[in-house]
Structure formats: C-alpha cells, structure tokens
Structure 1
Amino acid sequence: MYKPIEITKDIFYVGVNDRTKESFESLWPLPKGVSYNSYIIRDEKTVLIDTVDICYSDLFMRKIRSVLGDKTIDYLVVNHMEPDHSGSIEFLVSKYPNIQIVGNKRTIEMLKGFYGITGNVIEVKDLDEMSVGEYTLQFYMTPMVHWPETMMTYVKEAKTLFSADAFGTFGTLDGGVLDKQICPERYNDEMIRYYSNIVGKFGSPVQTALKKLANVGVDALCSTHGPVWVIPENISKVFALYDRLSRYEAEEGLVIAYGSMYGHTEELAEIIATEAAENGVKSIVMHNVSKSHESNILRDTFKYKGLIIGSPTYNNKLYPAVDSLVSAIQNRNLKNRFFGYFGSFTWADATARQFEAFAGAMEFETVAEPIIMKQAMLGDVVDKARNLGRIIAEKLTSGAEVVPNNTSNC
C-alpha cells in the first residue's frame, strides 16, 4: 500500500502525520499539525529508530512492513522516551517479541517505569558504537535536550544523524518528507516556536550538544518532528539557528506584549510602537495577551532582541495572562534582551514592583524609566511612552550590547 520513502541508501522514513490533535502536550496549538518521525536502517541487522504516538500504531506498522515485508526488526534504538515517540514500543514488542531495545541507563529506567519492560535491553554509553552490518551506529548522549535520557544516533558511513527532538519543528509533512521536496521556509517560524516552547529552557545543554557534534559530518539530519534535512545549506542553517537560539541571541526587532481591559493600556502600547517605528525599528510585533497564544509570544521573544511588556493592575497583581507570560519567560531563562515595561491602575498600583522584580531576576537591560499610568493618559504619561519607544529603538538600531541589570559596572 505504501511506497517506501528512502532518505539515503538503506535508510527509510516510516513516520506519521497528526492532523487531529489540537494542542501539543495539551499546551501548544497545532494549526499546521505535527509529524512523529521514525526511521528504519535496512542492513544485515534491521534497526528501527524511535516509534510514534500510540494513536498511529496501526498505520506505523503498515509503513514498517512496506520497507521490511515479513522481515523482523532486530534492534529498536530509543533516542527519546517522551510518549509521542515511545508510545508504540509495547505494541512493537508484541509484534516482534525478540526485538532488542537499545538505550542509555536513563532510557532503560524509563522503559521499566512507563511500560514495565526490563528484558531484551542493551545499554549504551556516550560514543559507544554498534555494528549492524555495513553500517556502524554511534551514540551521542545529549541529556536535557530536552529530557534527561535524550541521545542522538549517528550512522557513520552514511553521515546520517538521528537527533531525537533536537532540530524539530511543528507542522505536518504534506507529501514531501525531504527538504529538497518542499519549500522549507514554511517551517521557519514553527521551528522557532517549537524551540522556544519545548527546548528553550535548556540553552546550556543545547550548547553542550552542539559542541559535541561540531566535528561530525552530517549529510542527513533526521529529527523526530518535521522535515528531514539533506540540502547542505539547510543543514547549516538549522544548526546555526539552534546555536543562536541557545545562546539567547536575537534579531533586531521589538516585541510589545500587553494586557488591556478597557483599552487604556493598549493605547500606551500603540504610542510606544509608533515612536519605535519612527526611530528606525522595522520589525515590531504586538501581542494582546488576551488574543495571542502564549506560544506565539514566546516564539517572538526568542526571535527579537527588544521586549516591552505592559499590564494593568488586576486584583493587586499583574493581569493574569501577563503574569502567565512573565512566568513562562522566566522559566525559559531568557537572556540578552533590552527590556521596558509599563503599567496602569485605577486606585492602587501593583505593576511597577512586580515588573521590577521580574527585570531584576532576568539578564535583561532595563532601558528607560517605567511608565505607570493612573486611570488615563494625563500629565507626562504620553511623553514617557514616547521616550521608551525612542530609547529602545536607539538601543536596537545602534547594535548596542545588552548590559544586564544584575551585572556590576564596577
């Protein structure tokens, strides 16, 4: 029924598309769906790299048989135990009872914890190798990219890297699987959204993994989500993007995220944005937190170097969706941003001290005096808003380096 999809000689794609699920991890919207990628190496010994969500196990099995026919699977390599990739392991074992499962120490612990599997397991360590015939598998431990057991598997002779969730992206594979079959630009923002929401907290482990892979030649980059990258220029771009994002480096541009109940706080956001544009900032993204999903705001905070957040006081706290956004940014350890904030209140302000505490906890540079508006835009509020827009524009367009608030100038 299915025609085998060959990535390179003897290596095949057997993943599936999910166009049904509305939210990834029940958190992140999937307007373009998501793929769960799995791969087969057909050699003297047959090797399956990762599985798929249990919901697609029947389809998965049909795709496996399109490559192997009645031939058995000798090894299952588990690079990542998150259930969207390990969910079909029990099903697979029922079909191939003699299959041997290859993973690291943490993988083996999770196999027992999730599925009660303790037999037919092979433990591998960092840089261990396994011959399966013509091809040699080498295992790279990449813990906390983005789970503690995560590893990558490299086929030395084919220069093919199976990278688990690293280098993944939201979005289904609509016909083409290889980047040379599609317009890969359609995945750019979804790769950044995937990174910022799923991997973003773990910049340091990503940097460690990239250094480990620095001298590994890669002709095919096979993630567990999204396209298979085989065009050298695209592989270089994907590695460069992960390097930049994990260093918390960003493009020239400004994100203004705000909550507004009756429009007064939104007016401040508009004035700030207009002034920033008049002073040379061309990439400005505005998010009303009541309408924009948090995942999209996080994507843009990873993408752009300027960040301004505004909130009315609500029950003596930040507006709930702003409070959630601030928490999410802090949880991802975002660094190296020019930061400004503004707030509004009717009878008692709570925004100033909470934004100040947030800014002090982050490696941000607060660029101007905060704007706190009582009731409406009277007095010098408009002047302060314009000043914030102008100063952050100067910072962004001049190429200035961020000097974090918590860094001593002595």
Structure 2
Amino acid sequence: MEQKTKIKGKVHYVGVNDRTKALFEGLWPLPYGVSYNSYLIDDEKIALVDTVDICYFEVFLHKIRSVIGDRPIDYLIINHMEPDHSGSLSLIKQYYPNITIVGNKQTFGMVEGFYGITGEQLLIKNADPLDLGYHKLRFYLTPMVHWPETMMTFDETEGIIFSGDGFGAFGTLDGGFIDTRMNTDIFWEEMIRYYSNIVGKYGSAVQKALEKLAPLNITTICSTHGPVWTEQRGKVIDLYDRLSRYEGEEGVVIVYGTMYGNTEQMAEAIALELSAQGIKNIVLHNVNKSHSSYIISDIFKYKGLIIGSATYCNELYPEIGSLLPKILLRDMKNRYLGYFGSFCWSSAALRRMNEFAEKSKFEIVGEPVDMKISMDDLIYSQCENMGKAMADRLKQDRETSQD
C-alpha cells in the first residue's frame, strides 16, 4: 500500500474521492465528482499537508495509518481553510493531540473560528522554512487565491509545490492520482470551469502568486483538487497564467433566454453569420438548459460574448437576469460584447442590457438589436450585422498576432 501511495521521495497521497455530492459549494455541478487531496510527508518529522472533508475522515485516517502506522504526526500544514480541506482538523487533533498546526496569521483566526482550536501553533511568514529531516520546506503566502489565508508549501528537496486550491480541477481520481498513470482528458475543461467559477475573480492575485513561484524549480504540483501534475505541469501553469490574465481564445459565446423560440432565432442568425465570416469556435447556451458554471467557463475561454434576452414582466428574462451579476462578479477583462433583446408590447430587456454593458466595461461591438414579437427581414439583417461586427473585431486580433 505504501508504495502505491508514493508520489516522490517520502511524499504520499492520502486524499479521498467524492462521487456523491451533486453541487460543489452548493453551486457548481459535479458530473465527474471531485477529489479532496491531502499529502503525507513521512520523514524524521512527519507532516500532513491539508486534510479532507469530514465525511471521509475514516477513509482518510486509514490511508494515513497505512503509511505511518501508529507513529504520531508532528505537523499539520494548512494551506487553505475551506472546510472541504480543513474539515477533518478537529478529528485529526483528537487522534494526534500533540500535533503542531502550521499556518499564517490569517489561518489561525479561522482555525479558532471554525473549530475552536487554539493548541500548538507554528506561525509562519512568507518564505519561512521548515526542516523535516530529508525534506526542506518553504512557505509562500498567496492571499486571495482565493481566500485571504491561502498559501503554498514548497518542498525544496523534491521540487514539489503543495498549492492549495491553486491549479485545482473538478473530477475524481479513479485509480491513479498522478498524471502519468491516468487519462487526464476530462480535467482540462473541468480545470477551466473550476478556475472560472471558484478563482476567476482573483486574476491579479493569481498573477502575483505565479510571480512568487516563477523562480522555483517545480517538478510536481500537488493541488487540493484534481490530479498530481508531473509531466503535464507546464500545461497546467500555462493554463492558469492565461486564465488569470483573462486571455481568451478566438471564439464567441452566445447566451440567450427565450420562452417561445423567437429570441433563439436571433441567436441562430448571429451564429450563422459568425460561421460564414470564418469564426469556428461558436458556443450557444440556452440559459433554460445550460448551468451558469458552464456558461461562465466558456466566457473565460473565448473573447467574444453576445447576450440576448426576451423581455419578461418588463425586466430581463429571469435566468439572464440571474446570470449577468455572476459575470460582473468575476470582474473579467479583455472581452468583446454584443447584445440583443426582444419584446411583445414594451421593450425593457435591451434597456437592462445597456445597464449591464456599462457596468461590465467590456468593449461593445456592433449595434444592439431589439426585436418586436418575431423575426423579419430587417431584424435578420441586423443580426447578421452584429455577427459580422464581432467576427471583424476578432479578426483584428488575429491579424495583430500575426504581425
């Protein structure tokens, strides 16, 4: 068992899988489940890096003991205090009463607040070291990736970064937990969805964290969610770098809210013109069917965003009205926005979309289109013009990148 859990040196994987939970944080669907990753360093001094959701404590404890037997754990390093990672802290303290909790100033207020624990503590500052014997650790504070206490722990001996939620992804680890032992195909889209919905607001904080990590000789990434990244670590870092700079790919997300299909026909006309103009990455989301987490993920992925809404009770269509604040919350940058509305007797959706456009600070592309009741030749032409305007704007970037 001990050899099967080994990552590198004296570092072992002791995380668990959750295939039961339907919504992460009560918000985000988990079609592939999620892992809660914890790591054990079996050295002269034994260190546990993060814990797991309390629901899985018995499984967690069994995995720990399969590596160290009845020996005590000297340190519990807390990189992140969210309960899916710190939830087993109280029980670990019961089984290992002399354990020293390692964290920063922000950590310990949360430890006491969540669990009422004030025992042995090792307060660390940025770049402080901790010697376990063979493994030499150093701590890097990464506030707001994505809570104020978040930090990362670097094993200088093996080049392993224990990154907390940084570089995380949805999805369980089915059998293997290291990228070289598994098919990682599902994790790339789930990493984008994880980042955009969980961390997406904090792009500048992620950039600062990446700057701190840049000088380190990282061979392995051990996040609290998703695979242990070794051979594919460069792709993971590049993806987080690109997402945190809000650097979208060429493509357009068209999001619409429709009751009877007329607003949808506007979206279809815009998409058809985009395709005719040579834009290949086009994603249409009907908000009645697509969960907002997938929509937000695609908005992070592509530069172009076109939103359409029917008027409903003199307001936006309800699901569009729910989505727009979620987009604003993430403070995205470098996006191109077009929008359209429809109504039967009183135009309101487009007016509300104007308000969103001003708040978003996105670059407005094309003339907004407002349709009364259903499509006619004029509205169809206006939708085509919007599609062409968005395509032209994306092609400008294409040409600039080729210069």
- Regarding TM over 0.5, the answer is yes
Q: How does 1:74-153 map to 2 (within 5 A)?
A: 74-153=74-153
The answer for unaligned runs of 5 or more in structure 1 is 403-410
* Kept after mapping to 2: 8 A contact 1:336/1:363: no
The answer for unaligned runs of 5 or more in structure 2 is none
* Kept after mapping to 2: 8 A contact 1:2/1:63: no
**Could you tell me how far apart the structure 2 residues matched to 1:382 and 1:51 are?**
56
* Kept after mapping to 2: 8 A contact 1:255/1:306: yes
TM-score by length of 1: 0.96
Q: How does 1:6-405 map to 2 (within 5 A)?
A: 6-231=6-231, 234-378=232-376, 380-399=378-397
**Could you tell me how far apart the structure 1 residues matched to 2:78 and 2:356 are?**
39
**Could you tell me how far apart the structure 1 residues matched to 2:141 and 2:122 are?**
15
* Paired residues, number: 400
**Could you tell me how far apart the structure 1 residues matched to 2:2 and 2:121 are?**
30
Deviating more after overlay: 370-379 vs 103-112: 370-379
**1:408 maps to which residue?**
none
Structure 2 counterpart of 1:76, one-letter code: L
**Could you tell me how far apart the structure 1 residues matched to 2:352 and 2:229 are?**
44
What displacement does 1:314 show? 1.1
What displacement does 1:323 show? 1.2
Q: Could you give the per-residue CA deviations for residues 4-41 of structure 1, whole angstroms, max 9, x where no partner exists?
A: 41110100000000000000001000000000000011
* Kept after mapping to 2: 8 A contact 1:53/1:83: yes
**Could you tell me how far apart the structure 2 residues matched to 1:316 and 1:401 are?**
42
Q: Could you give the per-residue CA deviations for residues 291-323 of structure 1, whole angstroms, max 9, x where no partner exists?
A: 000000011000011100000111221111111
**Could you tell me how far apart the structure 2 residues matched to 1:173 and 1:66 are?**
19
What displacement does 1:324 show? 1.3
Q: Could you give the per-residue CA deviations for residues 265-312 of structure 1, whole angstroms, max 9, x where no partner exists?
A: 000000000010011011111000000000000110000111000001
Q: Could you give the per-residue CA deviations for residues 173-192 of structure 1, whole angstroms, max 9, x where no partner exists?
A: 01110000112222110000
Structure 2 counterpart of 1:210, one-letter code: L
- SS of the equivalent of 2:362 reads strand
* Kept after mapping to 2: 8 A contact 1:4/1:66: no
**Could you tell me how far apart the structure 2 residues matched to 1:58 and 1:4 are?**
19
- SS of the equivalent of 2:335 reads strand
- SS of the equivalent of 1:369 reads coil
**Could you tell me how far apart the structure 1 residues matched to 2:186 and 2:292 are?**
21
**1:406 maps to which residue?**
none
**Could you tell me how far apart the structure 1 residues matched to 2:229 and 2:276 are?**
40
**Could you tell me how far apart the structure 1 residues matched to 2:314 and 2:204 are?**
36
What displacement does 1:2 show? 7.5
* Kept after mapping to 2: 8 A contact 1:344/1:375: yes
* Kept after mapping to 1: 8 A contact 2:342/2:350: no
TM-score by length of 2: 0.97
C-alpha root-mean-square deviation of aligned residues, in Å?
1.3
Structure 1 counterpart of 2:28, one-letter code: W
**Could you tell me how far apart the structure 1 residues matched to 2:279 and 2:67 are?**
52
Q: Which runs of 4+ in 1 moved over 2 A?
A: 1-4
